[in-house]
A and B are shown apart, each in its own frame.
Chain A
Amino acid sequence: MTVATPELPALDARNISHAYGRHQILNDISFEVAPGALVGITGENGTGKSTLLRVLSGQLRPRGGVVSYRGALGYCPQEPSLNSFLTVGQHIEFFRAAYKLESLDRATELVRELGFERYMDHSVASLSGGTRQKLNLTIALMHRPAVLLLDEPYQGFDWETYLRFWDLAIEVREAGAAVVVVSHLAFDHERFDTLYELKAGSLGVPSSAAAGVSA
């Protein structure tokens, strides 16, 4: 097991640019996230937050720029990308094979913490939006990633689950993971070490210069 040294960023995005046709979405974005930092990216609908996260996670090839990260990556996409015909338990089993995990202890713990253990044998097609999102989050976290990218992670959550989500995010950060949360809601800003606003394709100046993050 190799542990990244704290000086090195866990996630390093350099000169990321992307456009859909002639419509420039991301314009030369560079930023780093250190291990143990919790970074928020907000912005109005359509400003390219999800595009940025898809680039960071490797789901989308940017027109320009390079993304580097140290360690395992966990990605919780806005569209959960689950299989409607498989159950919650089968999803966890499938991703256990993908992550090559020996044990499902962490996944079981997450399912319990998020309070959806009674749905283990339910197919995804029969789940509510909120429960699907819990599964989405569990899949992103079950292998203890070093870099965690969360796109609108609390959509569909009730208040109690929303609070549990934040407990979980803090716990993951305290364990040393670099966490990036994308959301169109800015009212969580006090929870982040650093908050960026994505506007006209640029990240701008972060609202707090917390340690471990530099733009």
Chain B
Amino acid sequence: MSGLLRSQYGTAVRFAVVDQIRNRMAMVLLIVFVPLWFLVIRAVTTHDMVSFHLRAAGRSISVDGAHLTVITAGLNALTLIVGFMFFAAARREIGFERRLVGAGYPRSVLLLAKFTTLVATAAVVSLYASLVMLFFWWRPVDFGAIYVSFLLASLIYGSFGLMLGVLVQDELEGFFVIIMTSLSDTFLQNPIGNPTANKLVVAFFPSFGSMQFGVDGAFTGSLPWAYTGVSIAWIACLTAATLVIFAWKTRSPGIKRLSQHVIPA
């Protein structure tokens, strides 16, 4: 990357971070909603044991239902919040970014800056949610597995939010799609809420890989890394789709620039 591109990239990342931090609604949601959601979920679940076939472990396991639900609740809260944050930012900024691109900002640099901000945000937000989760389940076998699981799910839904933000016209459409996807995705994979959570179809859900990784690591201590590949494939597909839509939305058509010309001072 040339010095100029590096400097443009640095500027874009800096302002994308400022934009996220100044989004007070998202900050309040994150700080208040995550613990509140864990609290509500724990209040309505019991410590009854639940047995189910865990694909990642290749066998049936029997676990504390309250602990299992804490993991799905965390995934649900994070996917909603990170999805909303990046959907709202992308949607809010598309006109501004079109103007930046028209003024000469390379599209690829703006997009790279967005994804850098997404990775940084997902890393911090997932750490916060994982730490808050410890108040509700003090000793998972592998805490790191829960963090990785939360991080991957946040990255998937952040990418999904970005893609929707540059794609949809109406705010309500985007919020509806994120809410419904996140709810169906996380709820239908929980064997307590859905006794048929074993069906093959759930393997195609966005958070499947991260759920399998988190649950296996948290309850058995084994780390099925192959399942992180499923999540990474989701992130790659959503990123590629965002790239194409963003390039389309910020294109500058029908213009011929004949020569460079600067008016002297």
Task: Map CB proximity to B onto A123-166 as digits: 1 under 8 Å, 0 otherwise.
Answer: 10000000000000001000111100000000000000000000
Across the two chains, which residue of chain B brings its CB closest to A177?
B263
Chain B residues, CB < 8 A from A65: 254
Chain A residues, CB < 8 A from B116: none
Contact in complex: B259, A70 (CB < 8 Å): yes
Binds B, one of A78-86, A188-196, A200-208: A78-86
State whether the Cβ of B226 lies closer than 8 Å to any Cβ in chain A.
no
| Residue in A57, A83, A146 whose CB lies within 8 Å of B96 | A83
Interface residue ranges of B28-61 to A (CB < 8 Å): none
Task: Map CB proximity to B onto A74-115 as digits: 1 under 8 Å, 0 otherwise.
Answer: 010101011111100010011101111000001000000000
Contact in complex: A81, B99 (CB < 8 Å): yes
State whether the Cβ of A4 lies closer than 8 Å to any Cβ in chain B.
yes
State whether the Cβ of A24 lies closer than 8 Å to any Cβ in chain B.
no
Interface residue ranges of B220-264 to A (CB < 8 Å): 251-264
Given contacts A55-B254, A65-B254, contact A144 B263 (CB under 8 A): yes
- Residue with the greatest number of chain B CB neighbours at <10 A, chosen from A71, A97, A176, A177: A97
Given contacts A98-B103, A145-B263, contact A69 B22 (CB under 8 A): no
Please count the residue pairs between chain A and chain B whose beta carbons lie under 8 angstroms apart in the complex. Answer: 121
Contact in complex: A100, B11 (CB < 8 Å): no
Q: How far is the CB of A75 from chain B (nearest CB, A)?
A: 7
For the complex, give the distance between the alpha carbons of A176 and B253 in Å: 26
For the complex, give the distance between the alpha carbons of A123 and B18 in Å: 11
What class of interface size applies to chain B in its complex with A? Answer: 35 or more
State whether the Cβ of B12 lies closer than 8 Å to any Cβ in chain A.
yes
State whether the Cβ of A40 lies closer than 8 Å to any Cβ in chain B.
no
For the complex, give the distance between the alpha carbons of A84 and B96 in Å: 10
Chain B residues, CB < 8 A from A175: 263-265
Q: Please report whether the interface of chain B is mostly helix, strand, loop or mixed according to DSSP.
A: mixed
Number of interface residues of A (CB under 8 A): 49
Q: How far is the CB of B260 from chain A (nearest CB, A)?
A: 6
| Residue in B11, B23, B93, B262 whose CB lies within 8 Å of A146 | B262
For the complex, give the distance between the alpha carbons of A175 and B8 in Å: 29
For the complex, give the distance between the alpha carbons of A177 and B255 in Å: 18
Q: How far is the CB of A82 from chain B (nearest CB, A)?
A: 6
Contact in complex: B104, A100 (CB < 8 Å): yes
Given contacts A79-B95, A81-B95, A98-B105, contact A62 B254 (CB under 8 A): yes
| Residue in A10, A58, A82, A143 whose CB lies within 8 Å of B254 | A58
State whether the Cβ of A72 lies closer than 8 Å to any Cβ in chain B.
yes
Contact in complex: B104, A98 (CB < 8 Å): yes
Contact in complex: A59, B102 (CB < 8 Å): yes
State whether the Cβ of B92 lies closer than 8 Å to any Cβ in chain A.
yes
Chain A residues, CB < 8 A from B98: 59, 81
For the complex, give the distance between the alpha carbons of A146 and B261 in Å: 6
Across the two chains, which residue of chain A brings its CB closest to B101?
A98
Given contacts A82-B96, A85-B18, contact A97 B256 (CB under 8 A): no
State whether the Cβ of A184 lies closer than 8 Å to any Cβ in chain B.
no
Interface residue ranges of B84-141 to A (CB < 8 Å): 92-93, 95-96, 98-100, 102-105
- Residue with the greatest number of chain B CB neighbours at <10 A, chosen from A66, A79, A81, A123: A81
Please list the residues of chain B having a beta carbon within 8 angstroms of any beta carbon in chain A.
Answer: 4, 7-8, 11-12, 15, 18-19, 22-23, 92-93, 95-96, 98-100, 102-105, 251-265
- For the complex with contacts A2-B260, A68-B257, 16 further pairs of A-B residues with Cβ separation under 8 Å are A55-B254, A58-B254, A67-B255, A70-B258, A71-B262, A71-B263, A83-B15, A83-B19, A90-B15, A90-B18, A95-B100, A97-B7, A98-B8, A98-B104, A123-B22, A143-B103
